[in-house]
Amino acid sequence: MTKLIDAYNQASYPLVGHGKRNANVLKEVFEAVDGSLESDMYGTGKVIEDYQEKMANLLGKESAVFFPSGTMAGQIALRIWSDRKQNKKVAYHPTCHLEIHEKDGLKELHHLEPILLADMTRPVLLQDLLNLKEDVACILLELPQREIGGQLPEYSELEAMSAFCRERGIKLHLDGARLFEVLPYYGKSANEVCALFDSVYISVYKGIGGIAGAILAGDGDFTEESKIWKRRHGGDLISLYPYILAADYYMERRLPLMDKYYKEAVELAAYYNGCHNIKTSPAVPVCNMFHVHSDVGKEELERTFAEIALQTGVGLTSSVRERDDGGSNFEISIGDRYGFAPREAVTEAFRLLDLKLCEVKVKG
């Protein structure tokens, strides 16, 4: 039997993401770069300073700092706000990246105490802040909330939570790793959304498709302090210009396409929801990503997807995760690839998927 990953890689029309992360990502960027361009040096120099100014303007903040990783930027933001209030408690969603993907870095390196808001099935809402019994230095909101399918609070909720924090002297930090992907749903600019927050982090490689790196933005005092912590964390590499040039190149190319990606995600989710024994979360996506859930087991679903890829040339996903209840799920993130797939091929792939899932015995 052909493995799912192999079948997906052989497919003529893989539907997820921008494409393989190989050397072509770099080659495309550097073809247009003047060879006399000077590198940045330990966080200074024209190439990094110009990009940081550009990002500060885009996000509507006084200044911005380029970090080699979002993990570093996020922990540092919460540390700064905690130190200023002399309060070790910070609050965020139970599926926050800092809580489940960073090996307790916030606790072990910065000795901060997380307070978990809301439950595992929905984003943080104003009611969760009103019910907060602890005095916290900072609240982190992730837009979109990746681990629950890219869900979002309504914009009016965001405005209410921002007002709540400002009335009580609580700093509000945005984990906006995928900030640009939510703007089409909100119908707002990055500047408008970021105005609700005291500090903002964005990724330059996730939906944007750069090599690696992140931006942390806020007022001047905040970003200057973040530079000190960046040095302490070892984040001032001798040069970061390959990351910066790639980030700038792909942002110029892909930010205008975010509305297209969002509409395509809505279209693709409708295909899934038209099949038996499978559904998306959310039912209608609110950004370019969503999760797909099935009561069919992981191995059976992988076999089904591999067969469809080989028969139709359409790769629906490259991986499936097992759920605790015996079912399965996976994540979809729309990028450049989806638009290249002929609609008749996609329609045929989902016709076969529906047919095959009707025949599959669902796990009890």
Cα 241 versus chain centre, distance: 22
3-state secondary structure (DSSP) of residue 205: coil
Q: Which secondary structure element, helix H or strand E, spans residue 290, and what is its range?
A: strand 289-294
Q: What is the pLDDT of residue 364?
A: 47
So what's the pLDDT on residue 1?
52
Burial zone of 252 (CB within 10 Å; 0-12 exposed, 13-18 middle, 19+ buried): exposed
Query: pLDDT tens across 67-94, in order?
Result: 999 999 999 999 999 999 999 999 999 9
Per the DSSP assignment, residues forming a β-bridge with 151 are 145
At 361 the pLDDT is: 63
| Number of CB atoms found within 10 A of residue 321's CB | 12
Q: Are strands 199-203 and 214-218 parallel, antiparallel or unpaired?
A: antiparallel
* Residue that is written with structure tokens 């570093």 in the block: 72
* Cβ pair 314, 345 in contact under 8 A: yes
CA–CA dist 255, 267 (Å, integer): 20
Question: How far from chain centre, in Å, is Cα 117?
Answer: 19
User: 323 to each of 144, 171, 175, 327, how far by Cα in Å?
Assistant: 22, 36, 26, 5
What does the pLDDT profile of the chain (364 residues) look like in tens digits? 579 999 999 999 999 999 988 888 888 898 988 889 999 999 999 999 999 999 999 999 999 999 999 999 999 999 999 999 999 999 999 999 999 999 999 999 999 999 999 999 999 999 999 999 999 999 999 999 999 999 999 999 999 999 999 999 999 999 999 999 999 999 999 999 999 999 999 999 999 999 999 999 999 999 999 999 999 999 999 999 999 999 999 999 999 999 999 999 999 999 999 999 999 999 999 999 999 999 999 999 999 999 999 999 999 999 999 999 999 999 999 999 999 999 999 999 999 999 999 987 664 4
d(CA 287, CA 308): 26
DSSP for 13-72 reads: EE-SBS---STHHHHHHHTTS-TTPPPPBTTBSHHHHHHHHHHHHHHT-SEEEEES-HHH
Give dist(CA 173, CA 181) in Å, integer: 18
C-alpha to C-alpha distance for 39 and 49, rounded to whole angstroms: 11
Q: Which CATH number fits domain 40-238: 3.40.50.2000, 1.10.340.30, 3.40.640.10, 3.90.79.10?
A: 3.40.640.10
Q: CA 281 to CA 11: how far, in whole Å?
A: 25
Contact 154, 187 (CB under 8 A): no
Domains of the chain, by residue range, sit at 4-21+257-358, 40-238
Neighbours of 232 (CB within 10 A): 12
Q: CA of 63: how far to CAs of 215, 310, 342, in Å?
A: 10, 50, 43
Residues 6+ apart with CB under 8 A from 253: none
What pLDDT sits at residue 21? 84
End-to-end CA separation in angstroms for the chain: 25
What's the CA dihedral at 323, 325, 326, 331 to 10 degrees? -20
Length of the chain: 364
| CA-CA-CA-CA torsion sign (255, 81, 100, 162) | negative
Q: CATH assignment of 4-21+257-358, given 3.90.650.10, 3.40.630.30, 3.90.1150.10, 3.90.1170.50?
A: 3.90.1150.10
